[in-house]
């Protein structure tokens, strides 16, 4: 089933408190400073249309939720949903997730991370673009606080099994635990999950807890290089 192009936000909807461009931020950046309240921050990699963020911000008001989305139209759509709800604890960044975790977020700055249905990059020559790679997960461990949780969901069993091995190799997380289906309201967590489950396809889910082992990546790279945003073909 082809994806529908995201709707443009209403022209009169103010996104200034819910949408930022990653390249306009300087690192290292304490993510709590992006919000009006300095509560614990959880990060979603790839917001899509924003179903998880809108649900999480409403159900867990004592936490801040930061999303990162490489596709501008989807990032703005997710931000517009937060703005429409006047959610003060949700914000979307437009940019590259690898850049965010590598150069912008400091050590132990996140209270949780969510990676739902990442692009599997099917072609062999594109596999290196998979976000759940060793470098990303080392930085994920670096920026996550001890005891925080990493949630990984995908509809690609091969990618799921690969991710389990890579997470384990970081030595920064405990053993994977199974995570039940459904979102915070016991329905669906993302639009992609809803579409996948309604089609009768399987979803593989796991949650990992950050241990107390010091990360191998102890600090950010001093100089942030220029980069261009790339996204998967639609």
pLDDT along the chain (234 residues), means of 10: 65 92 92 94 96 95 97 96 96 97 95 94 80 94 97 94 95 90 63 80 92 74 43 37
Per-residue model confidence (pLDDT) at position 185: 45
* 232 belongs to a structural domain: no
Per-residue model confidence (pLDDT) at position 234: 31
Per-residue model confidence (pLDDT) at position 232: 39
Per-residue model confidence (pLDDT) at position 124: 74
CATH code, 170: 3.40.50.150
Per-residue model confidence (pLDDT) at position 30: 95
DSSP state of 17: T
Helices (DSSP H) in the chain: which residue ranges?
Answer: 51-59, 72-85, 97-99, 134-143, 157-170, 191-198
Per-residue model confidence (pLDDT) at position 26: 86
The number of folded domains in the chain is 1
* 11 belongs to a structural domain: no
* 8 belongs to a structural domain: no
Spell out a b/e string for 53-89, using b for 16 or more CB atoms within 10 Å of the CB, else e: bbbbbeebeebbbbbbbbbeebbbbbbbbbbeeebeb
Q: Which residues, 6+ apart, have CB-to-CB distance to 126 below 8 Å?
A: none
Q: Which residues, 6+ apart, have CB-to-CB distance to 186 below 8 Å?
A: none
What is the extent of the structural domain holding 132?
19-209
* 98 belongs to a structural domain: yes
* 108 belongs to a structural domain: yes
Per-residue model confidence (pLDDT) at position 121: 76
* 216 belongs to a structural domain: no
Per-residue model confidence (pLDDT) at position 222: 38
DSSP state of 49: T
Q: Please give the positions annotated as active site.
A: 119
* 7 belongs to a structural domain: no
Per-residue model confidence (pLDDT) at position 5: 67
* Alpha carbons 50 and 62: distance in angstroms, whole number: 19
> What Å distances lie between residue 225 and 27, 110, 175, CA to CA?
11, 23, 35
* 82 belongs to a structural domain: yes
Per-residue model confidence (pLDDT) at position 228: 41
Maximum alpha-carbon separation in the chain: 48
Instruction: Give Cα 161 distance to the centre of its chain.
Output: 19
């Amino acid at each position: 089933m082809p994806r529908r192009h995201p709707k443009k936000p209403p022209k009169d909807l103010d996104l200034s408190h819910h949408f930022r461009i990653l390249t306009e931020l300087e690192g290292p950046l304490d993510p709590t400073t992006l919000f009006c309240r300095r509560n614990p921050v959880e990060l979603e990699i790839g917001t899509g249309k924003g179903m998880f963020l809108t649900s999480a911000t409403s159900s867990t008001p004592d936490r801040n939720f930061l999303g990162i989305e490489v596709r501008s139209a989807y990032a703005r759509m997710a931000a517009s949903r937060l703005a429409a709800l006047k959610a003060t604890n949700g914000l979307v960044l437009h940019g590259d997730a690898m850049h965010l975790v590598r150069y912008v977020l400091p050590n132990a700055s996140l209270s949780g991370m969510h990676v739902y249905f990442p692009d599997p990059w099917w072609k062999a020559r594109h596999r290196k673009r998979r976000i759940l790679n060793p470098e990303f997960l080392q930085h994920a461990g670096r920026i996550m606080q001890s005891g925080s949780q990493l949630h990984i969901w995908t509809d690609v069993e091969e990618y799921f099994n690969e991710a389990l091995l890579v997470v384990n190799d970081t030595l920064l997380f405990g053993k994977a635990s199974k995570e039940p289906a459904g979102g915070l309201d016991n329905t669906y967590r993302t639009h992609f999950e809803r579409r996948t489950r309604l089609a009768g396809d399987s979803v593989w889910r796991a949650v990992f807890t950050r241990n107390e082992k010091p990360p191998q990546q102890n600090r950010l790279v001093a100089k942030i290089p220029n980069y261009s945003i790339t996204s998967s073909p639609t």
